[in-house]
Structure 1
Amino acid sequence: MDPMQHYRLCTVTYGMAPSPFLAVRVLKQLAIDYEAKYPLAARVLARDTYVDDIPTGCNSVGEHMKLKDQLILLIDEGNFKLRKWSSNSWSFLKSIPKEDCLHGHASIEDNVKILGIPWNPGRDELLVNTPMIATKQAFSKRALLSDLSKVFDPLGFVAPTTVLLKLIFQECWFSAISWDDPIPETLRRRWQAIVKELPLLSHCRISRYIAASSPHIELSGFADASTQAYGAVIYSRVLTTNGYRSRLVAAKT
């Protein structure tokens, strides 16, 4: 097994609760009530549940299988059923009924979404979801803010690009125009030029796994600011048998 491999699973829960938020409370209570009986599953359920997703992972296929079995039994204690399983381990997916897998037993190369972020299990990479933004609409502050909010990037993978859009929006405020008035022509051309190239970001690939089996893991943070903007970024730095390896963790502008 590749020493840098980390087996990832993602499940979606569905049950008898009237809302996902109430379901989370029920799942948390299940983790407390059955911690002694299902210790692995209880820890994951308490730590990794987000709304109706359980994004978590293991360092070996054997641990992966054991966690899966405990999760199924623990969830069943509350009359819930785990569905839409996805993983970067083919042997793991084959151990689950086809109808309970997100893409059946077709492939692990099909992209899935983890809390809204595209993920390719086969390559174990996160992708950038760039929306198609119309360039012929009325250009106003309201329209610009609407376009900017369509770029869903909670981890800041494309922060160097979105900060350019934020700077244009900032200049609109300095122009003292109302929400629905046309923005200055110079700003409109700059906005259109960036939006036109946004689809190119879909080619970006970010490694999901940022740690390693080695205990030598560092988090390095950098920040800078100017009169126009500020930014911060965090990288993981891991000691491997081939030297140090760095991975992007998150960024903010």
Structure 2
Amino acid sequence: MYRMINVVEQDQPLQRILWRESVDERLRTYQLTTVTYGTSSAPYLATRSLKRCAEEGEKTHPVAANVIKNNFYVDDMLAGVHTVDEGKKLFSDVQSLLGSAGFNLRKWHSNQQEILNNIPSYLRDKRDVLNIDTTSTVKTLGLTWEPDSDLFWFKMPRWKQTSPITQRVVLSEAARLFDPYGLAGPVIVQAKMFLQVLWKGKYSWDEPLSMTLQSQWLEFRNSLDRLDAVSVPRWIAFGKNVISCELHGFCDASERAYGAVIYLRSVTREGQVSHRLVMAKSKVAPLEDLNKRKKKLSIPRLELSSALVLAHLYETVAASIQIPTNAYFWTDSTIVKCWLSSHPSRWQVFVANRVSEIQHISR
């Protein structure tokens, strides 16, 4: 992707490198003319170029331009349509629009064989055959997508048998649990809380943990294999046959963590009601810092923090699904409800700032 984007001529001298095959050769100077891996601006330039391509094609390819603007994660596109004909047109328009800028999109996949038949074989994902079977999977944003069933699955990484277990090992293994939608939040937050225990115990990076802590981490790591049996529908049940949609967000907190989750409730013309998990997010409660006189947060304040997480989550989801919906926010904290029902100026700074932001987002 980077190599398809030219750098303006006056900036190319900033991308010069020195090179020689051996110490006996004379140094040669090369000047890179395209966006280069490793430079801090490269990800932005690539993403911005993609959006510029969409902006220039809004009049000729409006649907494709909208997908390119809103359904790309760097160079990966994840989008959906309601009919096979729409899918065929989307493929054609996206290829045409991106191709005009030198971006030749490959590794196409679909859960509809008829759409795949319309795509040249060299543009399909090489890991799949023409007839998709039940074991054919594609990795998408850290999740595994099974086109045949149209489900997201969790695939746990293969763990190395490391001994002894240190804080560095725990952090390395916890970082491998990539869950962009927060679908496994209740599980992964346990890894975050375990890291907090290590920070509180002031372990150095390579100091072996106590046998008790090592056993706890191994037990947690082994239990993750059960996530392989968990699946989540990719389609969140809204389309042309749906007459009403509602977003329902829930937030909660404990002494050690807090979080929020959003579901989509849809009703079809036939009266069929569907509920789908859309997105979730979890955070650990901040630790008490005696040196900085930072006290541990009370449960009501943690509940308010979870409400703020929910507000931000709603903001993300509402911008992504781009359909008219009513939104409902749920909390079991009477104190939080009282804070949110009043003007922020009534409260102290911590509460006032969060109440103000929540009210602004959810108005």
| TM-score relative to the length of structure 2 | 0.61
Q: Name the structure, 1 or 2, with higher relative contact order (CA <8 Å, separation 6+).
A: 1
What is the CA deviation profile of residues 221-243 of structure 1, one whole-angstrom value per residue up to 9, with x for unaligned ones?
11111111112211111224354
Give the secondary-structure state (helix, strand or coil) at the position aligned to 2:197. Answer: helix
Q: What's the counterpart of residue 257 of structure 2?
A: 229
Give the secondary-structure state (helix, strand or coil) at the position aligned to 1:56. Answer: coil
How far has the Cα of 1:49 moved from its partner? 2.4
1:252 to 281, 296, 299: 281
8 Å CA contact 2:237, 2:274 repeated in 1? no
CA distance in 1, matches of 2:208, 2:78: 44
Q: What's the counterpart of residue 190 of structure 1?
A: 216
Structure having the larger proportion of residues in strand: 1
1:127 to 134, 145, 153: 153
8 Å CA contact 1:14, 1:81 repeated in 2? no
What is the CA deviation profile of residues 153-211 of structure 1, one whole-angstrom value per residue up to 9, with x for unaligned ones?
11122222222222222222222332222222222211111111212211211101113
Q: What's the counterpart of residue 198 of structure 2?
A: 172
Give the secondary-structure state (helix, strand or coil) at the position aligned to 1:250. Answer: strand
CA distance in 1, matches of 2:161, 2:273: 43
> Is structure 2 residue 184 aligned with structure 1 residue 158?
yes
CA distance in 2, matches of 1:174, 1:25: 42
Q: What's the counterpart of residue 34 of structure 1?
A: 57
CA distance in 2, matches of 1:168, 1:14: 38
2:246 to 205, 211, 218: 218
Amino acid at match of 1:175: G
Q: What's the counterpart of residue 10 of structure 1?
A: none
Amino acid at match of 2:253: A
2:165 to 128, 139, 150: 139
User: 5+ unaligned residues in a row in structure 1: which ranges?
Assistant: 1-12
Q: What's the counterpart of residue 4 of structure 2?
A: 16
| TM-score relative to the length of structure 1 | 0.86
Give the secondary-structure state (helix, strand or coil) at the position aligned to 2:226. Answer: helix
8 Å CA contact 2:262, 2:280 repeated in 1? yes
Structure having the larger proportion of residues in helix: 2
Correspondence 1:107-122 to 2 at 5 A:
107=132, 109=134, 110-122=136-148
The structure-2 alpha-carbon separation of the partners of 1:239 and 1:171, relative to structure 1 and needing over 3 Å to count, comes to same
Q: What's the counterpart of residue 9 of structure 1?
A: none
Q: What's the counterpart of residue 5 of structure 1?
A: none
Q: What's the counterpart of residue 105 of structure 1?
A: 130
Give the secondary-structure state (helix, strand or coil) at the position aligned to 1:58. Answer: coil
The structure-2 alpha-carbon separation of the partners of 1:99 and 1:15, relative to structure 1 and needing over 3 Å to count, comes to farther
Task: Give the count of matched residue pairs.
Answer: 241
Larger radius of gyration: 2
User: 5+ unaligned residues in a row in structure 2: which ranges?
Assistant: 6-33, 36-41, 283-363
Q: What's the counterpart of residue 86 of structure 1?
A: 109
How far has the Cα of 1:28 moved from its partner? 1.9
CA distance in 2, matches of 1:231, 1:47: 25
RMSD over aligned Cα atoms: 2.1
CA distance in 2, matches of 1:188, 1:222: 34
